[in-house]
Structure 1
Amino acid sequence: MGNNILRSKFIIWCSFVIALILQAVPWPGPLEMMRPTWVILVSCYWILALPHRVNVGSALILGLLWDLVIGSTLGIHGIVMSVVAYLVALNFQVLRNMALWQQGVVIGALTVLAEFLEFFGEFLIQDVEFDPHYLWAGAINCILWPWMFLLLRRLRRHWHMR
């Protein structure tokens, strides 16, 4: 039993590391605004699937790591991820019972909220301008959610993670 818990934590954190790597990979200039928010997708899945293992604290740590990886203001993504994780954890039973396309719409809306929170956090600290093109990430996350959900669910079921 203890071995299964360690294996589950290892797999979850490996998926977080992969999401952080995908988040840090540079995209060509015009496509940069359409970059999916891999970290939000992966963390939302694990919060929905295993809320007793991944929670707001995990999201805070993941957000701080995200700040370190991309070199942004330390704490901005930590706060954003905490808010998103709180909203998902608060409503995880409702979200679990939605169809995948409905979950995708909710994840897209949470991504847009995360983009706004990130902008306001950066705006309070330094002089930044809002670029509405970055809201495309919400639409991209909405489209990618069903595939991410099915991929991570297959991984969870293959390793018998509970």
Structure 2
Amino acid sequence: MANKFMKSGSSQARWLILFSYIIALAFDIMALLENATVIIPPISLMVLLYWCAHFLDKTHLLSAFILGLLADTLYQTTLGAHALVFSVLAFLMLRHRLRFKAYPVWRQAFSIGVYMMLYQILNYIFFSPVLDSNDAIQFWSMPAIAIIIWPLLSLIFRRITTNVVKG
């Protein structure tokens, strides 16, 4: 069923995609309020990568840019820095989304871990955060947390899209 939904195109799921971005930004805000942004991956980026990989008729580069600008305002960083990072990562996902989509979920999770490691490297280069020894371990272990979160996120979105097709 989910494959039928994915082949139908993103125009039928426009509101679902928009709603998922809003919910993901809410999770990012909650992580920021709990000072857990060092270890919790940006959920909005993970949701963006999910939709980039699973819809072949859209690139989602505009969504990446807008989500990046929203992340810039959320984290109070230089306007456009996260937009650039999100757009680069979305482009990289678009380059190999057919292979990514064919992977089993556990292998997708490790690919997402690589994307999150690239995010952390770019984050470290652009923003050069001051990390003490405890924060440094958490900062560089964030991709491992993303590997753990990805199967759950993927399962939730598959269930939602299956329900949309049935409904």
Q: Among the aligned pairs, what percent are the same residue?
A: 26
One-letter code aligned to 2:130: E
4+ residue segments displaced more than 4 Å: 4-7
Cα RMSD of the aligned pairs, angstroms, is 2.2
Deviation track 1:54-102 (CA, whole Å, cap 9, x = no partner) reads: 5222211111111122322211111111111011111001101111111
CA distance in 1, matches of 2:137, 2:78: 20
CA distance in 2, matches of 1:67, 1:156: 29
Match 1:74 to one of 70, 79, 102: 79
CA distance in 2, matches of 1:70, 1:32: 9
CA distance in 2, matches of 1:39, 1:5: 18
CA distance in 2, matches of 1:6, 1:99: 26
Aligned length: 153
Structure 1 residues 158, 137: closer, same or farther in 2, change over 3 A? same
Matched, 1:144 2:145: no
Matched, 1:10 2:11: no
What TM-score results when the alignment is normalised by the length of structure 2?
A: 0.81
Gaps of 5+ in 1: none
Deviation, structure 1 residue 5: 6.3
Matched, 1:98 2:97: no
What TM-score results when the alignment is normalised by the length of structure 1?
A: 0.83
Deviation, structure 1 residue 33: 2.7
Deviation track 1:13-48 (CA, whole Å, cap 9, x = no partner) reads: 11001111111113545x553213201211111111
Matched, 1:58 2:63: yes
One-letter code aligned to 2:76: G
Deviation, structure 1 residue 152: 0.8
Partner of 1:46: 51
One-letter code aligned to 1:137: M
Gaps of 5+ in 2: 1-8
Partner of 1:129: 130
CA distance in 2, matches of 1:47, 1:116: 21
